[in-house]
């Protein structure tokens, strides 16, 4: 018997929310949610379209993971604590095996961060997944893109570029699903703890979703400043370095997106406190600085160099 819309919601998306601030979750016309006193609501939404943001043969659990991760990463980049999500699903058919795996990937990430699925919508159509994520932050501590000032130091977390290298492997066909780069492309973890730690400390922040260079250009434009990247300081992971020549690794780091790393700026006064947070699990790399002016300049050993750019733009 084919699965109806209501059976589908009931079977795959009705896990009881563990959070006391969910007054009413899936099942009514809308969810009722309690925002803690003294905090403000932070809202983000992102859509994944099959064939554009994920490959038709992607493991469904990785699609569930990514749809949530990309949204949690946006909340992290605001310094917010994630709390609730809404899931809008368009599906060509109610394939129970696909849904089971998709829900497992989504709930696994949600439960790691105590995030509750509180509602959504389910329709028939091409496979498209939209998640709306809601969280909160102390009103004066939110991280924005427009606060970078000349003299600030520029940082990126972790190992950007690995997900793009993994995507290239997937596009090329023959690759193992347990390849570390492929896993990084499918199951990268949003930097929620770092975003929380930076709230009130960083002068500006954003997550790297379209590529470090392109995203930094956006941060600079918002803040009305320029930036210099010292290419010799770029973090190249051991895995990238082992598998690619230096120029290709650099290209992945500068132009790859979707590792959910955070790009942020710190006043020199805040730098020591933040650098003390760094660990093996949370590498923090100072890659340059903010200057007066406009645009992003790359330097190698102090000399300006041109680098090929190519952030992702859907309408370019």
Are 151 and 95 in contact by the 8 Å Cβ rule? The answer is no
Among 77, 87, 109, 240, binds ligand ADP (CB under 6 A): 87
Residue 91 or 296: the one with the smaller Cβ distance to ligand ADP is 91
Among 76, 117, 167, 225, binds ligand ADP (CB under 6 A): 117
The least CB distance from residue 89 to Mg ion, in Å, is 11
Asked if 26 is part of the footprint of ligand ADP (rule: CB under 6 A), the reply reads yes
Among 7, 93, 121, 275, binds Mg ion (CB under 5 A): 121
Residue 94 or 271: the one with the smaller Cβ distance to Mg ion is 94
Asked if 91 is part of the footprint of ligand ADP (rule: CB under 6 A), the reply reads no
Residue 121 or 146: the one with the smaller Cβ distance to Mg ion is 121
β-pair partners for 157: 284
Asked if 28 is part of the footprint of ligand ADP (rule: CB under 6 A), the reply reads yes
Q: Which region, judged by CB under 6 A, interacts with ligand ADP, from 115-123, 207-215, 259-267, 284-292?
A: 115-123
The least CB distance from residue 9 to ligand ADP, in Å, is 5
Largest CA-CA distance found in the chain, in angstroms, rounded: 67
Quote the tokens at residue 270: 């805040």
Alpha carbon distance 238, 241 (integer Å) = 5
Q: For helices 5-12 and 96-112, give the axis angle rounded to 10 degrees.
A: 40
Asked if 29 is part of the footprint of ligand ADP (rule: CB under 6 A), the reply reads yes
Alpha carbon distance 2, 92 (integer Å) = 13
Q: Is 114 helix (H, G, I), strand (E, B) or coil?
A: coil
Are 256 and 160 in contact by the 8 Å Cβ rule? The answer is yes
**From the list ligand ADP, Mg ion, none, which binds 87 (C-beta under 5 to 8 Å, kind-based)?**
ligand ADP
* Helix locations, the chain, DSSP H: 5-12, 60-77, 96-112, 162-172, 180-187, 192-198, 212-223, 238-243, 246-255, 268-275
**From the list Mg ion, ligand ADP, none, which binds 136 (C-beta under 5 to 8 Å, kind-based)?**
none
The least CB distance from residue 121 to Mg ion, in Å, is 4
Give whole-number Cα distances, 109 to 12, 277, 294, 301, in Å. Answer: 15, 23, 38, 41
**From the list Mg ion, ligand ADP, none, which binds 260 (C-beta under 5 to 8 Å, kind-based)?**
none
Taking alpha carbons only, the member of 245, 284, 311, 307 closest to residue 159 is 284
> Which residues bind to Mg ion, rule: CB under 5 A?
121
> Which residues bind to ligand ADP, rule: CB under 6 A?
9, 13, 26-29, 87, 89, 117, 119-122
């Amino acid at each position: 018997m084919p699965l109806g819309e209501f059976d589908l919601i009931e079977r795959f998306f009705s896990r009881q929310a563990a959070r006391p601030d969910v007054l009413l979750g899936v099942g009514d016309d809308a969810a009722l949610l309690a925002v803690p006193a003294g905090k403000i609501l932070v809202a983000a939404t992102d859509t994944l379209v099959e064939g554009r943001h994920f490959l038709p043969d992607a493991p469904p659990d990785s699609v569930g993971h990514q749809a949530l991760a990309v949204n949690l990463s946006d909340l992290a980049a605001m310094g917010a604590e994630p709390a609730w999500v809404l899931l809008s699903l368009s599906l060509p058919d109610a394939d129970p095996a696909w849904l089971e795996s998709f829900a497992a990937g989504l709930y696994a990430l949600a439960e790691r961060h105590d995030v509750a699925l509180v509602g959504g919508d389910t329709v028939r159509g091409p496979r498209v997944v939209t998640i709306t994520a809601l969280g909160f932050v102390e009103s004066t501590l939110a991280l924005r893109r427009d606060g970078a000032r000349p003299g600030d130091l520029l940082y990126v977390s972790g190992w950007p570029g690995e997900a793009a290298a993994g995507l290239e492997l997937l596009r090329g066909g023959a690759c193992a699903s347990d390849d570390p780069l492929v896993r990084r492309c499918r199951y990268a973890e949003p930097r929620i703890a770092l975003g929380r730690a930076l709230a009130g400390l960083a002068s500006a922040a954003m997550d790297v979703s379209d590529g470090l260079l392109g995203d930094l250009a956006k941060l600079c434009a918002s803040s009305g400043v320029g930036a210099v990247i010292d290419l010799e300081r770029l973090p190249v992971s051991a895995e990238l370095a082992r598998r690619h020549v230096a120029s290709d690794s650099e290209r992945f780091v500068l132009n790859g997106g979707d590792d959910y790393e955070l790009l942020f700026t710190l006043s020199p006064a805040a730098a020591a406190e933040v650098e003390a947070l760094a660990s093996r699990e949370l590498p923090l790399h100072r890659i340059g600085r903010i200057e007066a002016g406009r645009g992003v300049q790359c330097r190698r050993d102090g000399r300006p160099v041109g680098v090929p750019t190519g952030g992702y733009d859907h309408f370019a």
